[in-house]
């Protein structure tokens, strides 16, 4: 069963990551912020533990989105000057530091939502200078792409599965939000497309992560009142709907204005 979970999650993440690479910073960031890694993890948690468990996990995941914002902020600053290993190391340290700090408080749902809202308002405003449209150079695909992405998502699925049994829903909820796709994009895109391009993809993704956080909030509320399947589908609809709206608005802004006659 664990092998089946890993295989299913790896297929989803690999497919979404490849689509992200080909779509450019704006559309790519919208794909990257869909729940392509957290979604399968939550499906497996629901299969193992039921609706009440994923409701509690989702409450902690809402707060844990602050750790993802810290990952993006640390990478955006570091990637302007540092190489891929150092940029990713600083981003990962930032994620773990915030994720660990979150464990020292039992976050209520309202506190988690307030933290999520404040962090993203500050991050979007503070990092907007990095969210620029940069054309990616044509580059060949690296040989390790598939193996890397599959390995990362496998690690998250395995860690979350064991944590859910050993430590309960709070730790599982934090681990479920580890930015698997963002990590893959840094390792794959930055050596080939440069730090500023990769940072732009991730920073543009902050607006998409608002929908991800809202989907987690909906999952917490819905799973406490309905079946796990219905709650997961409703949360997915929120995430997809938000990113689709942002994509349409982004395309409308980029569309050239009509030339006046004469």
Q: Decide if pLDDT at 181 tops 60.
A: yes
Sign of the torsion angle spanned by Cα atoms 183, 189, 192, 196: negative
What pLDDT does residue 49 have?
86
Tokens of 157: 């699925």
User: Comparing 129-133, 139-143, 160-164, 167-171, which segment has the lowest mean pLDDT?
Assistant: 139-143
What's the CA gap between 19 and 14, in Å, rounded? 9
- For residue 130, give the nearest of 168, 89, 75 by alpha carbon: 75
**What's residue 140's pLDDT?**
52
> ∠ CA(141), CA(143), CA(150), 5° rounding?
100
Portion of the chain with pLDDT greater than 90, in percent? 31
pLDDT in tens, 210-262: 888 899 999 999 999 999 899 999 999 998 888 788 777 766 665 554 545 54
Is residue 226 classed as helix, strand or coil in its secondary structure? coil
Q: Report, as an integer, the average pLDDT of 165-171.
A: 77
In the predicted structure, residue 75 carries a pLDDT above the cut 90 = yes
- First-to-last C-alpha distance (Å) of the chain: 68
Tokens, residue 252: 């409308």
């Amino acid at each position: 069963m664990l092998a089946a979970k890993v295989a299913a999650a790896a297929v989803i993440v690999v497919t979404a990551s490849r689509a992200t690479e080909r779509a450019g910073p704006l559309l790519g960031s919208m794909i990257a912020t869909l729940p392509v890694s957290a979604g399968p993890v939550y499906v497996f948690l629901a299969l193992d533990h039921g609706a009440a468990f994923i409701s509690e996990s989702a409450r902690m995941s809402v707060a844990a989105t602050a750790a993802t914002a810290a990952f993006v902020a640390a990478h955006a600053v570091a990637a302007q000057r540092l190489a891929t290993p150092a940029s990713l190391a600083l981003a990962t340290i930032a994620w773990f530091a915030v994720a660990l700090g979150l464990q020292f408080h039992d976050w209520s749902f309202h506190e988690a939502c307030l933290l999520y809202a404040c962090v993203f308002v500050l991050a979007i405003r503070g990092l907007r200078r990095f969210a620029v449209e940069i054309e990616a150079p044509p580059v060949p695909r690296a040989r390790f792409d598939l193996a890397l992405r599959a390995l990362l998502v496998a690690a998250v699925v395995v860690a979350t599965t064991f944590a859910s049994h050993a430590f309960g829903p709070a730790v599982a909820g934090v681990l479920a939000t580890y930015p698997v796709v963002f990590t893959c994009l840094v390792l794959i895109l930055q050596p080939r497309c440069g730090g500023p391009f990769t940072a732009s993809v991730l920073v543009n993704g902050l607006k998409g992560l608002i929908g991800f956080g809202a989907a987690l909030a909906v999952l917490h509320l819905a799973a406490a009142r309905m079946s796990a399947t219905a709650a997961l589908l409703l949360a997915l609809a929120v995430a997809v709907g938000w990113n689709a709206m942002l994509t349409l608005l982004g395309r409308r802004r980029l569309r050239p204005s009509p030339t006046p006659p004469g």
